[in-house]
Amino acid sequence: MRLSRIISSPLALVAGATSAAAAGWEFVQNGTSGIIALEVMVVSPTLAIFFDRASNDPLMIDGHAAWGALWNFETNTASPLRVITDTFCGSGAFLSNGTMISVGGNIPANPAALDGRNGVRIFNPCADATGANCTLFEDPTNLHLAETRWYTSTARVFDGSVMIVGGIHEDTPFYNTDPVNSFEFFPPKDNGVPRPSAFLERSLPVNLFPRTLALPDGTVLMIANNQTIIYDIEKNTETILPDIPNGVRVTNPFDGTAALLPLSPPNFTPEVLVCGGSNSSDQIPALQLSTQDPASDQCSRMVLTPEGIKKGWQVERLLEPRTMPEMILLPNGQVLITNGARTGYAAVASVGDLVGNSNADHAVLTPSIYTPTAPLGKRISNKGMPTTNIERMYHSGVTLTPMGNILIAGNNPNSEVVNDTVHASEFRVEYLNPPFMSEARPKVLNMPSKIAFNRQFTMEVDIPRNLKASTIQVALMDLGFSSHAFHSSQRLVFMDAKLSLDRKTLAVTSPPNNRIFPPGPGWVFLTIDDVTSEGTKIMVGNGLAPPVQDQGVPVRIV
Ligand SMILES: *[C@@H]1O[C@H](CO)[C@@H](O)[C@H](O)[C@H]1NC(C)=O
Ligand SMILES: *[C@@H]1O[C@H](CO)[C@@H](O)[C@H](O)[C@H]1NC(C)=O
Ligand SMILES: *[C@@H]1O[C@H](CO)[C@@H](O)[C@H](O)[C@H]1NC(C)=O
Ligand SMILES: *[C@@H]1O[C@H](CO)[C@@H](O)[C@H](O)[C@H]1NC(C)=O
Ligand SMILES: *[C@@H]1O[C@H](CO)[C@@H](O)[C@H](O)[C@H]1NC(C)=O
Ligand SMILES: *[C@@H]1O[C@H](CO)[C@@H](O)[C@H](O)[C@H]1NC(C)=O
């Protein structure tokens, strides 16, 4: 095993022995993923699932290369997961009853796999901490999507089902030339008939992996190419919002990324942040594009209320251009911006001047932090952030973990595993550790494992004595599903919390209803004075199979 430890400041090395509090953010490399971790999702306190293409990964199962794996956070090892259909470039989400689904995929390169394009793979909650007895269920003949979908997106919505958006039917070298311009749901709605989308039609040919975000009133924000809409699932209507400014396009193969910023009581005002991508024309043939074309450094942010939409997008600049960045919500309300490259595009071996097989070049190796509450121009910083030596460009995955640090894996701008090239396949797993990982942290000693909407509940906590508790944040999070520079279903809803005088209990109020936090599994993190606890997995809502009824009380989103 190759181990490397990269510490942000040389001082931290010296100080490490005497004062853990002096440590900053750090990258720690530990373990290898066995398969390319191009899709990543946390499924239990100790496990994450990785999916890749059915090709030639080193991890084996049943005498052939595996394309699914369970990553064990305790041992930092990957074990193979038996998968029937090809998961390559699919997506996934949790349902309201705690079951995870993986959907979409590819025509397999490896004959051990079946066509995964209309695949639905079911992973029921699994209590086995090691994952040894955890299995994926598939029945391709009887359980599948209505359409074949490669490069499709997902979002868990207000009734606990999963909306499945767009994609392409067949292999494409680059642009979406054989589109699936429709939405469908799991479990199916409308007797399984997909809903056509004028938005997906308009946003061709750069509309793969549409950035799809469930809003707190139950509608869905969608961004594809440089266009934006709000889709109303109940009325089946699309409302056009302003384009992303300055011709910047943010979906595959011009990947930028998008996230719903943390929602806070009492108003839960939704704001979207979109960063990176490319301002190249989407009419240039792929062979005339270059790996050296600068990516966009633009972030665009909009408040998603009638007044906010009237004001439109507010533009700010990343510290560097990034194609294929990913944004991770942190339990203290900040946003980590990581991964990606300064130049080029997503996808493999399609532009005119490849570097190895990569369409992108000049990996960005230093993450940034975005502070949503800071004034414009002062929100983005990489002060104190470490620099890694491992590229994370196309086919990388990243997620917040139950421990509160960030797992980063993958990178494969090649169509299968290729080791002996520039921008080679990457198996090394890294953690990006926030400073609090080496400090005394708050602990959640006890809390309900299931919470209803609009209720008060109690958390028993242990708060280190050195913390004054001048800020108390209780974050309810969906850790989302990472695929192709987008973290679908990722969400953070802050809950009002009052600390008892003896600092041993918190009285917490759950989100008002199932539109503010789509019902299903979540993780609760407690942050005291910027020091975050480990996450506690809970069920939010009635825990029933979708579609579930509205729960809690309505609120007017302003
Ligand atoms: C690539 O390298 C990994 C180890 O880093 C090895 O396990 C695998 O067999 C190699 N695969 C190929 C196709 O060379
Ligand atoms: C890597 O992970 C293993 C298993 O958790 C642990 O024992 C080891 O200390 C870790 N190494 C580093 C450098 O963190
Ligand atoms: C896995 O399942 C087997 C057979 O049902 C059982 O004997 C074993 O205890 C289980 N292991 C774990 C870690 O749950
Ligand atoms: C969005 O892209 C279209 C098609 O390339 C272009 O006509 C339009 O001007 C762009 N919008 C903005 C705001 O740049
Ligand atoms: C396109 O993006 C590049 C790189 O960020 C920038 O230099 C250029 O000015 C942008 N062009 C337009 C028309 O906005
Ligand atoms: C959750 O619901 C889905 C869809 O109805 C079903 O396939 C799955 O088995 C259910 N999970 C559990 C744990 O009952």
Handedness of CA 380, 385, 386, 392 (dihedral sign): negative
**pLDDT band at residue 170 under the 50/70/90 scheme:** confident
Handedness of CA 394, 208, 400, 543 (dihedral sign): negative
CA–CA distances in Å: residue 81 to residues 62, 64, 85, 107, 211: 10, 12, 12, 19, 28
Tell me, using a 6 A CB cutoff, whether residue 133 lines ligand 3: yes
Extract the runs of DSSP E, i.e. beta strands, from 242-357.
256-260, 271-276, 298-303, 314-317, 326-329, 335-338, 341-348
More confident residue, 402 or 558: 402
Q: Contact 28/62 with Cβ under 8 angstroms?
A: no
Note the residue count of the chain. 558
From the number of C-beta atoms within 10 Å of its C-beta (0-12, 13-18, 19+), residue 29 rates as buried
Reported as a single tens digit per residue, the pLDDT across 284-306 is: 999 999 999 999 999 999 999 99
- 400 is written with which tokens? 């917040």
Reported as a single tens digit per residue, the pLDDT across 53-106 is: 999 999 999 999 999 999 999 999 999 999 999 999 999 999 999 999 999 999
Task: Give the residue from 148, 145, 147, 176 showing the smallest Cα distance to 162.
Answer: 145
Nearest 5°: CA angle at 346, between 343 and 350? 95
- 152 is written with which tokens? 């499709």
Mean pLDDT of the chain: 95
Going by CA atoms, what residue is nearest to atom 4 of ligand 3? 133
Quick check: helix, strand or coil at residue 521? strand
Whole-number Å distance, alpha carbon 99 to ligand 6 midpoint, is 6
Instruction: Quote the pLDDT of residue 173.
Output: 83
End-to-end CA distance of the chain: 52
Q: Contact 257/487 with Cβ under 8 angstroms?
A: yes
Instruction: Quote the pLDDT of residue 556.
Output: 86
Reported as a single tens digit per residue, the pLDDT across 465-491 is: 999 999 999 999 999 999 999 999 999
Instruction: Quote the pLDDT of residue 557.
Output: 78
Tell me, using a 6 A CB cutoff, whether residue 232 lines ligand 4: no
From the number of C-beta atoms within 10 Å of its C-beta (0-12, 13-18, 19+), residue 243 rates as middle
Reported as a single tens digit per residue, the pLDDT across 174-219 is: 999 999 999 999 999 999 999 999 999 999 999 999 999 999 999 9
- 60 is written with which tokens? 């084996």
Q: Which atom of ligand 5 is nearest to the CA of 247?
A: 14
Tell me, using a 6 A CB cutoff, whether residue 243 lines ligand 4: yes
Reported as a single tens digit per residue, the pLDDT across 361-396 is: 999 999 999 999 999 999 999 999 999 999 999 999
Mean pLDDT value across residues 428-438: 98
Q: Which atom of ligand 2 is nearest to the CA of 30?
A: 1
Q: Report the pocket of ligand 5 as residue ranges, CB < 6 Å.
A: 246, 279, 294, 296-297, 321
Q: Alpha helix locations (H) across 389-517?
A: none
**pLDDT band at residue 9 under the 50/70/90 scheme:** very low
**pLDDT band at residue 406 under the 50/70/90 scheme:** very high
Instruction: Quote the pLDDT of residue 3.
Output: 39
Instruction: Quote the pLDDT of residue 15.
Output: 33
**pLDDT band at residue 10 under the 50/70/90 scheme:** very low
From the number of C-beta atoms within 10 Å of its C-beta (0-12, 13-18, 19+), residue 452 rates as middle
**pLDDT band at residue 13 under the 50/70/90 scheme:** very low
pTM as predicted: 0.95
312 in the Ramachandran plot: left (φ > 0), alpha (ψ -120 to 50) or beta?
A: left
Residues 6+ apart with CB under 8 A from 74: 46, 129
Instruction: Quote the pLDDT of residue 558.
Output: 75
Handedness of CA 442, 446, 449, 450 (dihedral sign): negative
Reported as a single tens digit per residue, the pLDDT across 310-359 is: 999 999 999 999 999 999 999 999 999 999 999 999 999 999 999 999 99
Task: Give the residue from 272, 275, 253 showing the smallest Cα distance to 263.
Answer: 272
Mean pLDDT value across residues 223-249: 98
Tell me, using a 6 A CB cutoff, whether residue 427 lines ligand 1: yes
